[in-house]
Structure 1
Amino acid sequence: MRFADQMGLLFFAVFYLGLGIGCEKVPGPHALAVVGEEEIAPEDLQRFEARINPAYRSTGQGAEVYRDYLQSLIDVKLMVMEAQALGLDRDPALVAAVVVVKKQAMIDAYLRVKLGQGIQLSEQELRESFAAHPASQAVRGAHILLATQQDAEAAYAELKAGKSFAAVARRRSLDRQTAAKGGAFDQYYAFDRVSDRIYGKVFKEMKVGQVSAPFRTPQGYEIVRVLDKKPLDYEKYRTVITRGTVMQKFEQLKAGHIAALADSLGVRVDPVCLQRLIEAWNAAPGRPALSPQEQAAPLYRFAGGQLAVGEAVEWLAAQRAALDSAQVEQILRKKAVPEAVLAAAAEKVGFAEYPQVQRQVREERERRLLEALWKKELEEEVVATEEEARAHYAAHPELYQVPAEIVIQEILAPTREEAESLLAQIRDGADMGKLAAEHSIRLHAEQNGGIYGMRAFERVIYKEVMDAALRDSSGQVQGPVRVDRPLRSALKDKRELAEAYSICKVLERLPARRRPFEEAIELSLFYARQEKQQHRLDELNEQLRRKYRRQWAIGEEALRHYDGLAAPE
């Protein structure tokens, strides 16, 4: 039974036992529920419902659905109360995490109000942004796709020596569909995520007829040539350009605002603390040995705030080399100091009291408390035994099924010529596993000698190879089998190929079967523990409803009204 259904049944059991009756807490007239001192408003339940994983959505009908969700939200609040009662809110890591969220929430709200809401854009600014943007032109290009940097440099040398782009593309490009046309794409590329990421910057700076130097792409190495350019409609990309221009202007305003704040607040570094930080850092880059007192010392001071040495270390965490004072200052003044200054400015003018900021802080605190309670109650204290694992294995055979499998040995070659050469060697007595390890472009061939187990759900990986194996009953080497556009992630070098050629033979056909317990013990222990954790969660919810029964209540009238508003027409 799914979690939401279990929670719903548990609620009704508790209700009819009388545990939901006689609560001292009474929700306000518009509140769906009250838990402790906190009321649950309709918008709180809406946010909670929106975050529920589809797999755990209630299967109830009408008001029952919202009662299920509301009870689950109440259970969450009760677990937070229990975590606080156990003192889990005093954990230093939790306190620090909540402080970080509070600072960021204040900064976001402050910048949105102080800068974001006042941004105005003129038509001229938008058109100037459009003219400088890849979206202003569509480009028809040609490319030569190569496997390695060495191949790309050799092709580029031929082009510089005077050979035509089309001739080099026909002979060298791995994209056989465009190679036959001299590398030319059939269509114009307008601005989109793919063409802009790969070609946008290259094409934008090039004139018609110009050829680029080799550059790396997810497909391999490429050389491109601009065949034609044509202007595009400004109105079509107005929304994209407006969004980008607003962000650009916002960043400019933000930089100016931070500079002015830093100047007005008098940001200054403590040279003694800086020197001590550098000494400790360079003695163990990334792991400076600093005492708690040294970490708490202010590295930067300014009116209304500071940046402690320990906070600075967190900002430097990505560095793994020795640093001097200039490098440390450059890194910290780029983002750490600005964020500290913005947080201080935001708190000074009251952004800590903004409802949105308080909600984010409350949600982060509750999330951390839930994680801590779950770790204690469900992770540390729940362990499955081998006996329980065996019981689960016996009760749920469907979870331990291994699908039917065709075991093959295969060599995947990038060209028909290479595949035919390898096939001839095998027929002359060469070891197929050794050839696979040396020549196959299929992932892991060098480790497994080209032996793979193909299952029905892996058709997207093996494609035509699976079809050939299903048809074959000879047990002999087959091929070359043409594979159209082999999956890049299944190839050693992840390159994109229009085609590849496979030679393969079926070694074994295994029927669908149940995995032996000895092979499934880890999985069965996982499932058994998961089952115990669910049972413990149900127990915990019931215990907390009993323990805090006088501190929570449901507003029945408000819930009926909510059901009426939320019901579809």
Structure 2
Amino acid sequence: MRYLSNKFCGVLALLSMGCSGDETIVARVGEVEIEQAEFEAFVERLPPGLRSSKEGRAADREHLQSMIDEELMFTEARSLGIDTSLAVAHQLREMVRQRLVERYRAQVIVPQVEITGEDVERAFVEMGFDRERLFSRILVRTREELEAVGRDLRKGQPFEEVAARFAANDLFAAQGDGVVGWIGRTQAARRFSIPPAVFVGLPVGQVAEPVGLAGGYQIFRFIEDRPTALVDYSEDVAERLRKERTREKEEEEFERLRVRYDVRLDPEGEAILLQSLDRPLTTDELNHPFYAYEGGTISVAEGLGSLQAVGAQGVLQDKAQAAERIGRLLLPVRLFEAEARKRGWTEEAAFVEWREHQRRALILNQLFQQATAGAAPSEDEIRAHYEAHKDRYRTQEAVIVHELWTAEEEDAAALRAEWEAGAPIADLLDRPGVRSHAGVEGHGVREHGWEMRLVRLYEPRYPELVKAAFAAEVGALVGPLESMNGYAVFRVLRREGGQIQPFAEARRRAAASLRRQRENERIGAFIRQLQDKYKDQVVVLVDW
């Protein structure tokens, strides 16, 4: 049995159970009783890969031993003081705070947000959704090419002539002159990484500051503007307006609670914070309150930590600015948490159960860390492991495709026919209702032709698509085939991967694999030690 992963997953399955009415006891570990119903629920929730390979009572014995082993680990954790450690307490406190704040935002702040049709119409114009812009660009791969393009444009060379030199880089600009087509504000941001402020404010004909992309740089301009219809962008406008209104309501709620909870800046804490510029602070100084409010405080250490987390230590030069920044970073969360507690959310049965589940999981995680300390292999051991198992370290096999997706099979068949007749993929992708999974969840690099890289790992999500792609020849046009509640058509561009990686490339994977192996071995040995150490506390009450 692979103790590290299997045991931990088993624990989470056990911890997620509620109490049962069946009082038949199958085993005792110290004062902890394992009931028949708990055992059955434990087994039922185990994923297939973690279940015993045996059958009948032999499988039952292994599963019951897993439950016993988990209780032995909790017993050991208590003996080591892990259950009351500062590390566990701090992590649990942060998890509780996050959960309370998320619920407060969802149940108190978000319901206050109202968006009317008139609001959407007004924001449609104010946010710049009311026009599309004819987009032209030059794609380059290197900094040297970027600088050369800049020099040529400053010398007065026409934009389209410079773009023509790099036409092979851009599948969207089919004519080779850099003209991609008409785009709206949403397309500009999502597909071409153009900030909204630039889309709205850049004058026609003016070349914008270059934008860094995944594979190089984009130099662009807008050639012409045309009006758009509200119906085409109403959902985008409403979503952006909703986010803005939510931020406004959150700010209003924060100011209301700031008064209600009597938030105060501690002058001594403020002075201590500024002294951190000149010398290390003592433990007492770090623990001194910086902000105080009804029911809680924010320490100097927490204030410094918040500034460091956002790289804003420079504001320490100005005490007023430092206080304001720390307040903005930490006070809303603390006050929302305080109000959530005042409403009794932490006393609800479901929350208490969730909190205990998280606490026990954190305890086991700390115990595992102690049990596997020192498992990191040496450089020589990593290389020896790689040499002995080279075949495991191959580059990932992938099939690179262009893919179109639409909801209806008839539409997908029509797209295939046009594609076969020579229609550019960029034009087909601009059709209403047509998209590519290359632009979903980071599977493709949309700036360079919407190539979709399919690997076996994606098969659970795109089963038909992945199987068909790996079976097809390079150059083949395949489909329509069912995919993601619609129909896909794709062309295989090339195949990649499958070669044994050199050690330098495989080293990280080899090190991780060897470390996991050693951790599992140590956890297995650790469990056996606990079984021996606490054998007098274990009583099995069933004859399996």
- Judge same fold: TM > 0.5, yes or no: yes
1:402 matched residue in structure 2: 390
Is residue 2:366 matched to residue 1:375?
no
Give the deviation of 1:256 after TM superposition: 0.6
Query: In the alignment, what sits opposite 1:262?
Result: 258
From 300, 303, 310, the counterpart of 1:312: 303
CA contact (8 A) 1:109 1:357 kept: no
Q: CA deviation at 1:87?
A: 1.6
| Cα distance in 1 between the residues matched to 2:332 and 2:6 | 49
SS at match of 2:207: coil
- SS of the residue corresponding to residue 191 of structure 1 reads helix
Q: Is 1:298 aligned with 2:236? A: no
Contact 1:4 1:57 in 2 (8 A): no
- Name 2:212's counterpart in structure 1: 217
Matches within 5 A, 1:447-458: 457=395
Aligned partners of 2:118, 2:263: CA distance in 1, in Å? 38
CA distance in 1, matches of 2:512, 2:124: 55
8 A Cα contact 1:126 1:241, kept in partner? yes
Q: CA deviation at 1:311?
A: 1.9
Q: Tell me: CA distance 1:235–1:306, structure 2 relative to 1, closer, same or farther (3 Å).
A: same
Query: What's the CA shift for 1:282?
Result: 0.5
Q: Flag the 1:543–1:366 CA change in 2: closer, same or farther, 3 A.
A: farther
Aligned CA distance change for structure 1 residues 103 and 278 (closer, same or farther; 3 Å):
same
Among 337, 351, 365, the alignment partner of 2:359 is 365
- Name the structure 2 match of 1:536: 525
Tell me the CA shift for residue 361 of structure 1.
Answer: 3.0
Secondary structure of residue in 2 paired with 1:328: helix
In structure 2, the residue matched to 1:183 is: 178
Per-residue Cα deviation, 1:504-534 (whole angstroms, up to 9, x for no partner): xxxxxxx999x9xxx9998997476345225
Matches within 5 A, 1:196-345: 196=191, 198-199=193-194, 201=196, 204-205=199-200, 209-218=204-213, 219-227=215-223, 229=226, 231=228, 234=231, 238=235, 242-279=238-275, 281-284=276-279, 289-318=280-309, 319-321=312-314, 323-345=317-339
Task: Describe the superposition over 1:134-180 as per-residue Cα deviations: whole angstroms up to 9, x where unpaired.
Answer: 77666552201235667546645654665432122123667265486
Higher CA-based Rg: 1
Contact map agreement 2:395 2:500 (CA 8 A) in 1: no
Shift of 1:332: 0.6
3-state secondary structure, aligned to 2:305:
helix
**Which among 95, 98, 107 is matched to residue 104 of structure 1?**
98
2:455 alignment counterpart: none
Q: Distance in 1 between matches of 2:170 and 2:510?
A: 48
Structure 1 stretches of 5 or more lacking a match? 11-25, 405-454, 462-493, 499-510, 555-569
Quote the Cα distance in structure 1 between the aligned partners of 2:192 and 2:278. Answer: 41
1:67 offset after TM fit, Å? 10
What root-mean-square deviation, in Å, do the aligned CA atoms of Structure 1 and Structure 2 show?
Answer: 5.5
- Pairing 1:123–2:117 present: yes
Separation (CA, whole Å) in 2 of partners of 1:39 and 1:125: 58
> How is 1:427-442 mapped onto 2 (pairs within 5 angstroms)?
none
SS in structure 1 of the partner of residue 220 of structure 2? strand
How far 1:127 sits from its partner (Å)? 4.4
Q: Is the 8 A contact 2:124 2:130 kept in 1?
A: yes
Match of 2:281, SS? coil
Distance (whole Å) between structure 2 residues aligned to residue 229 and residue 300 of structure 1:
53
For residue 185 of structure 1, give the secondary structure of its aligned residue in structure 2: strand
Q: Secondary structure at the match of 2:115?
A: coil
SS in 2 for 1:125: helix
Bigger shift: 29-38 or 325-334?
A: 29-38
Distance of 1:402 and 1:245 partners within structure 2: 54
Once residues 140 and 71 of structure 1 are traced to their aligned partners in structure 2, the CA distance between those partners, rounded to angstroms, is 68
What amino acid maps onto 1:401 in structure 2? H
Secondary structure at 2:359's aligned position in 1? helix
Distance 1:130 1:548 in 2: 70
Distance 1:528 1:96 in 2: 30
Superposed CA offset, 1:77-100 (max 9, x none): 553344124321222222222222
Q: Where does 1:493-504 land on structure 2 (aligned, <5 Å)?
A: none
SS of equivalent to 2:395:
helix
Selected match of 1:93 from 87, 93, 116? 87
**Are residue 347 (structure 1) and residue 341 (structure 2) matched?**
yes
CA displacement at 1:274 relative to structure 2: 1.0
Distance in 2 of aligned mates of 1:126 and 1:48? 50
Q: What one-letter code is carried by the residue in structure 2 that aligns with 1:144?
A: I
Question: Relative to structure 1, is the Cα distance of residues 159 and 531 closer, same or farther in structure 2, using a 3 angstrom cutoff?
Answer: closer
* 1:459–1:71 CA distance, 2 compared to 1 (3 A): closer
**Cα distance change, pair 87–269 in 1 and its aligned pair in 2 (3 A):** same
Distance 1:523 1:327, change over 3 A: closer
What letter matches 2:518 in structure 1? Answer: R
Q: Distance in 2 between matches of 1:255 and 1:191?
A: 26
Alignment length (residue pairs): 423
CA distance in 2, matches of 1:296, 1:207: 50
d(CA) in 1 for partners of 2:232, 2:151: 42
For the residue of structure 2 that corresponds to 1:199, the secondary structure is coil
Distance 1:324 1:49, change over 3 A: farther
SS at match of 1:145: strand
Counterpart of 1:427 in structure 2 is none
Q: What is the alpha-carbon distance in structure 2 between the residues aligned to residue 457 and residue 79 of structure 1?
A: 39
Equivalent AA in structure 2 for residue 217 of structure 1: G
| Aligned-pair CA distance for 1:258 | 0.6
Distance 1:528 1:176, change over 3 A: closer
Query: TM-score normalised to the size of structure 2?
Result: 0.60
What is the CA-CA distance between 1:329 and the residue it aligns to?
A: 0.9
Q: 1:127 to 1:303 in 2, by over 3 A?
A: same
- Distance (whole Å) between structure 1 residues aligned to residue 114 and residue 188 of structure 2: 27
| 8 A contact 1:142–1:226 mirrored in 2 | yes
Report the AA paired with residue 249 of structure 1.
R
1:273·1:309 contact (CA, 8 Å) conserved in 2?
A: yes
CA–CA distance in 1 between the matches of 2:361 and 2:246?
A: 31
Higher deviation after alignment, 112-121 or 254-263: 112-121
Is the CA contact 1:209–1:226 (under 8 Å) kept in the aligned structure 2? yes
Distance 1:31 1:329, change over 3 A: farther
Partner Cα separation in structure 2 for residue 77 and residue 163 of structure 1: 75
- Matched residue type, 2:388: Y
Q: CA deviation at 1:366?
A: 1.7
* Identical columns (%): 19
Do the aligned partners of residues 140 and 403 (structure 1) sit closer, same or farther apart at CA in structure 2, a change above 3 Å counting?
farther
Give the whole-Å Cα distance in 1 for the aligned partners of 2:329 and 2:526.
42
Q: Which amino acid aligns with 2:326?
A: L
